[in-house]
Structure 1
Amino acid sequence: MEMDVFASSGAPVEAVGGGSLSDDVREELVAAGLPVVPPEREGRSVGGASVIDASDNAGVWIDWIVSGALSDASVRAMEVGAWQPDGSSMHPAIRQSGTVKFTMRGAMAAILTEAGFDVDLDADDLQPTTLLVRSRRPGPTWRSPAGPLAGASGYSPGIRVCLIDGEFAGAVTTVVSAHWEDRWPDGAPDRYRVQHPHGTSSLEVPATSVALAADPPEGLGDPTVVKT
């Protein structure tokens, strides 16, 4: 069966900028590896997340659509009344469909909340498997550069760094190893061994003399790239 869905293709996910709230939601769900069903494909045995703009501009409604045989079986069980009104007993297809929808609702809510969205799980009592995304909070996301946190637990071997003081200030080179003095490796190291800026052996420098090459301190000028 053809699955015409918005799914991750393996290409890098670019930062969302200037898109609508629904576009941002779709982007985040796809980045998490979840299929998003285009509106025109809903109801055609295609499973995945349904993302629809709220008609009153209150945000974006999201529901999880079960696909194929499970959807057909649960609908059939509902049509023939195969459940007790008090919920004490029901056909397994109804229970399985509900379990899937509520489980995916919780998963999508957690994913979107972590990505900075304001999510309401109780926006519609008549459709308890849906969730409403009302807005997106400003602030850093997983797409943001490392920024001031870079190096907080040490740079791994192979990371490109900029020497910010000493004889070779401004040179960009590569971390060979990190060293902690008289303590178990925890947090930022005390010293790094880096490739020598002149390409001969290596050089040991204090950790305070190193910054991530992609983000050198202001006032350092254009760093000198050292080939490796």
Structure 2
Amino acid sequence: MPESHRAELSAFADEVRAELAAAGLPIHPGHEDQRGDEVSGVLVELADDFEPGQGGVWVSWWINSPLAEAALRARRVGAWRRDGAGGTEWHPALRHLFVVRAAMSSALEEILQSLGYAVLRDVDDYREEGLLVRTRAPGPHWRDRAVPPLAGSTGYTPGIRVRLVAGDFAGAVTTVISHKHPLGKIIGPPLEYTVEHPDGEGQLTVAPEDLTLAEDEEIQP
């Protein structure tokens, strides 16, 4: 594989790992790391057995736990058989391992698709429950800052910095103290806001349409 292609796939693998870690999932360090045999988590490997532009990364749920050990023992002693109805009777450790792998694979697929990645299943018979993940489609991302017109649709909470766009103090940046919704309603635009007075003393009541979210650098963390 050309070094440039490997570098591109490696960067993509890091991106996918970062996204899955952000979802709260433990990330397996990889088979090349000896510590990898001691942990469970999401395993992300380069799909470098494809032509350039057709690869991506393999994503799977790696289990290293008492469950995996029990399933391995059951497999080694051949603890499964065909039943009279044409199905297969599995030792509980094997059956439960299959259920866990399938459930986690489906969860990973849903998470990645929510982010806009192309996810393919059943691409390689030797990778049970493995997902082939390819480039993310362009579009909004959860890291994008919330800005108008969506931001403020149900009201800015106390502490948010806003800019007044009408009235005697138009252009001034201030801080929301509270907002008031119609009686019995908490969804939808508020009736009014109470903000810190731009002069630094007291409070000011303003209509929702008379303010907007301040620029990013003026928003308090």
TM-score tier (shorter): 0.7 to 0.9
Cα-Cα RMSD? 2.4
Which residue in 2 is equivalent to 1:74?
A: 71
Amino acid at match of 1:163: L
**Maintained 8 Å contact 1:66/1:100:** no
The alpha-carbon deviation at position 72 of structure 1 amounts to 2.0
Query: Identical aligned pairs, as a percentage?
Result: 44
Q: Distance in 2 between matches of 1:36 and 1:150?
A: 33
Stretches of structure 1 that go unaligned for 5 or more consecutive residues are 1-18, 217-222
What is the TM-score with the length of structure 2 in the denominator? 0.81
After TM superposition, the structure 1 stretch with the greater mean CA deviation from structure 2, 58-67 or 41-50, is 41-50
In structure 2, the partner of 1:60 is 57
Alignment check: 8 A CA contact 2:122 2:129 kept: no
CA distance in 2 between partners of 1:75 and 1:182 (Å):
61
Deviation by residue 1:111-157 (Cα, 9 ceiling, x = unmatched): 21222212123333443411111210112211100023110111112
CA distance in 1 between counterparts of 2:206 and 2:147 reads: 21
- One-letter amino acid of the counterpart of residue 175, structure 1: V
Which structure 2 residue ranges, 5 or more long, are not aligned? Answer: 1-9
The count of corresponding residues between Structure 1 and Structure 2 is 200
Which of residues 33, 38, 49 is equivalent to 2:24?
33
CA deviation vs aligned residue, 1:1-23 (integer Å, no higher than 9, x gap): xxxxxxxxxxxxxxxxxx82211
TM-score (norm. length: structure 1)? 0.78
Secondary structure of 2:38's counterpart equals coil
> Which structure 2 residues correspond to residues 1-228 of structure 1 after superposition, within 5 A?
20-39=11-30, 40-41=32-33, 44-55=37-48, 56=50, 57-85=54-82, 87-148=87-148, 149-180=150-181, 184-215=185-216
Q: Which has the higher helix share?
A: 2
- Equivalent AA in structure 1 for residue 92 of structure 2: P
In structure 2, how many angstroms separate the alpha carbons of the residues matched to 1:91 and 1:137?
Answer: 42
**Aligned AA (2:146):** A
